[in-house]
Amino acid sequence: MESDTQLNNGDKLMRVLAFTLVFSVMNASMFNVVMPVISEQFSITPSQVSWLLTGYMIVYAVGSVTYGKLADKYRLKDLLTFGLIFFALGSIIGLTASEYWMIVLGRILQASGAAVIPATAMIVPVRYFAPEKRGRALGMTAAGLALGTAIAPIVSGLVTGFASWRLLFLLSVMPLLTLPYFRKYLNDDRGTAQKIDFLGGGLLGGGVALLLLSISLGNGLLTIAGLVLLILFVIRIRTAEEPFVQPKLFGNKKYSLGLFLTFLATAMSFGMPFLTPQFLSGLNGLSPAVIGLIMFPAAITSALMGRKGGRLADEKGNSFLIYTSVSLSFFCFVLLSIFVGASPYLILFMLIFGNIGQIFMQIAMSNTISATLAKEQIGVGMGLMSLLSFISGAMTTSVIGKLLDAGQTSIQFNPFAMHEEALIYSNIFFALAFLAVMIACFYFISFSKNSRKSERQVEAAERKTSSSTV
């Protein structure tokens, strides 16, 4: 009876969580469109206004793993209450801000609260669903993420065009409406009262913050400082009595391999949405509003396919979903490498394959990694996965940005590329196609072989049991 109740609550929770994720993702990206407007209104430089994104990303990334750690010890409903209230508080400060520093403060408070949402999105499917049904739940979270990404630029453009960019902060108060439902459907399970290693958490947070800042600002000294803090973090977790992250977590070979594959997969996934507006603007001369309309069909299609991907993971396994994802992504990147610079309507069609591949990859990797963790490691383990994804995404966009800054090139990776003026974009897409093949190979070596071996061992054990019974 308790199991049936938990499953029923799990289904209700996933619906509430998917709604919350839409607004969380929108909040993270919809301010990108209005940065030039804010820069002009407050007479600040582009590098100064970029702190609306950089500050949010740093706090959001570090906060996701911190909430994951706290979720191993405290009631998830209490953490969500704290997080959603801070999310709303930051939104109100940003809405009423009269100075630019108040807007940045509002964004940072938003991030400190909103970071509980991705942590929850990783934990709820694992705690409330059996492994054979977990893919469907993860599919719902992926659909919420994709839908938020799809509608963010359109909502931002409409609100800014008809009213004021400040009303974007008002939209971010909406997740607070979900709090009564979270408190109703989440159980009262509580972790054991243990001390939190604040020094270890500070070293991890500081190291990641400096690395992300170094990527954003292109500062080598910040990179060195960030690496030093991360080295001190490693020393700390090996010597502390109750470390922020248990070292044995990284001794889990499957988990460590899963994190490595997540890093590569996120790099592949972040490449396309970052590059697409660049070449649609630079080569096709499209306005931001039209670019958003070109990208919208692919994003909304991937959102609709999220639950289908979850069911495929449950019915046919993570390996099937990984290889399907890689195939779709490879097909998309090769076509873009050939036709980049062609008609935007042709590009619109190609993006659909890449976006579906992206959401399938997210579901499969979350499912794969969660299966490698013990119950008491779920919170911090999935939080670290989320953290690594942020770092990978920041590094990818930085590297691609530097390549684009270098301008045109005469080097041609893809011999079938059709537009000479688009070679730099063609080469990057060709490299992303190669990365997709690498991910498939690494996954096959790391997980597929062992999965088939485990299945054979289970079948042999079942046959042995049957023989004994006879």
Task: Measure the CA–CA gap between 6 and 185, rounded to whole angstroms.
Answer: 9
pLDDT tens digits, residue range 111-160?
A: 899 888 877 887 788 778 877 777 777 777 777 777 777 677 777 777 77
Task: Measure the CA–CA gap between 272 and 288, rounded to whole angstroms.
Answer: 16
Q: In the prediction, which pLDDT does 288 show?
A: 65
Sequence-separated contacts (24+) of 3-12 with Cβ below 8 Å: 6/128, 6/187, 7/128, 7/129, 7/133, 9/128, 9/185, 9/186, 9/187, 10/124, 10/125, 10/128, 10/129, 10/137, 12/181, 12/185
Q: Which two tokens stand for residue 48?
A: 């100064």
Determine the average pLDDT of the residues in 76-104: 90
Task: Measure the CA–CA gap between 466 and 470, rounded to whole angstroms.
Answer: 6
Q: In the prediction, which pLDDT does 433 show?
A: 93
Determine the average pLDDT of the residues in 334-341: 91
Q: Among residues 99, 139, 152, 72, which one has the least CA distance to residue 379?
A: 72
The tokens 């100075």 sit on which residue?
A: 99
Model confidence band, residue 459 (pLDDT cutoffs 50, 70, 90): very low
**Residue 436 clears pLDDT 90, i.e. is over it:** yes
Determine the average pLDDT of the residues in 96-105: 89
Q: What are phi and psi of 19, to 5 degrees?
A: -60, -45
Task: Measure the CA–CA gap between 366 and 22, rounded to whole angstroms.
Answer: 18
Task: Measure the CA–CA gap between 303 and 418, rounded to whole angstroms.
Answer: 31
Share of the chain above pLDDT 90, in %: 15
Model confidence band, residue 324 (pLDDT cutoffs 50, 70, 90): very high
What sign has the CA pseudo-torsion 401, 429, 154, 387?
negative
pTM of the predicted structure, to 2 decimals: 0.73
Q: How far is CA 73 from CA 64, 84, 104, 218, in A?
A: 15, 19, 31, 38
Is residue 59 within 8 Å of residue 112, measured between CB atoms?
Answer: yes
pLDDT tens digits, residue range 156-199?
A: 777 776 778 888 888 888 888 888 988 888 877 665 555 677 78
Those residues whose C-beta lies under 8 Å from the C-beta of residue 231, and which sit 6 or more positions away, are none
Is the domain spanning 251-453 CATH 1.20.1250.20? The answer is: yes
Q: Which two tokens stand for residue 92?
A: 């109100």
Query: Helix, strand, or coil here: 410?
Result: coil
Q: Among residues 218, 267, 176, which one has the least CA distance to residue 50?
A: 218
Task: Measure the CA–CA gap between 166 and 169, rounded to whole angstroms.
Answer: 6
Model confidence band, residue 1 (pLDDT cutoffs 50, 70, 90): very low
Tell me how crowded residue 221 is: count the other CB atoms within 10 A of its CB. 10
Higher per-residue pLDDT: 190 or 232 = 232
Is residue 438 within 8 Å of residue 422, measured between CB atoms?
Answer: no
Higher per-residue pLDDT: 462 or 57 = 57
Share of the chain above pLDDT 70, in %: 86
Average pLDDT in the chain: 80
Of the segments 43-47, 82-86, 97-101, which one has the largest average pLDDT value?
82-86
Determine the average pLDDT of the residues in 259-282: 83
Look at domain 1-187 and name its CATH class: mainly alpha
Q: Which two tokens stand for residue 236?
A: 């700390």
Q: What are phi and psi of 243, to 5 degrees?
A: -70, 160
Q: Which two tokens stand for residue 76?
A: 């998830």
**Residue 9 clears pLDDT 80, i.e. is over it:** no
Those residues whose C-beta lies under 8 Å from the C-beta of residue 159, and which sit 6 or more positions away, are 165, 167, 168, 171
**Residue 458 clears pLDDT 80, i.e. is over it:** no
Is residue 56 within 8 Å of residue 110, measured between CB atoms?
Answer: yes
Task: Measure the CA–CA gap between 65 and 202, rounded to whole angstroms.
Answer: 12
Tell me how crowded residue 29 is: count the other CB atoms within 10 A of its CB. 16
Q: In the prediction, which pLDDT does 241 show?
A: 80
The tokens 């839908």 sit on which residue?
A: 147
89-98, 206-215, 336-345, range with the lowest pLDDT: 206-215
Higher per-residue pLDDT: 217 or 362 = 362
**Residue 214 clears pLDDT 70, i.e. is over it:** yes
Q: In the prediction, which pLDDT does 136 show?
A: 76
Determine the average pLDDT of the residues in 348-356: 91
